[in-house]
Structure 1
Amino acid sequence: MAETVGERLKRIRLEHNFTQKQIADYLGFKQGQIAKLESNERTLKSDSLIKLSNLYRCSPEYIILGIGEYSKTNLAFRSNEKN
């Protein structure tokens, strides 16, 4: 069975060791919206698709269709929040 968009988003996120909260903050979403994207209950809009493809350094086609080049890069988020 082919990988869904949500499954691909989750796999890529986990490969980069990002939390749903980190991705939600990056996109200006709530964490629950990322959970819905990853469970295919919500559709990825084009502006978010572009942001994620830039973050993960892959093509939008890779995220949507699973075609094209993708290789994990070492990325990190910086937080401006104080604990």
Structure 2
Amino acid sequence: MFLQHLECSACGRQHQWSRLQNLCLSCQKPLLAIVDLTAAGRMLTRESVATREKSLWRYREVLPLPRDVEPISLGEGGTPLLHAQKF
């Protein structure tokens, strides 16, 4: 997992990712997930991700979940974009 911490979008306070929260404890503003994209880019290649199932779990390494959490899926995700001709 490449998630480093959660960070307040307003005041910059850092929060532990393992605690379920979406607002800063100091100012109640939204938290941002800070991910080590450099490390993720070294491990995850476009080709390796493209061969995975088309669901949210294809990006598992950058999701804020402990390594021992097993994915639960009903096969959802990967909905294609379709051109709406009369939209």
Greater C-alpha radius of gyration = 2
TM-score bracket for the superposition, by shorter chain length = under 0.3
- The structure with more helix, counted as a fraction of residues: 1
TM-score (norm 2): 0.22
TM-score (norm 1): 0.22
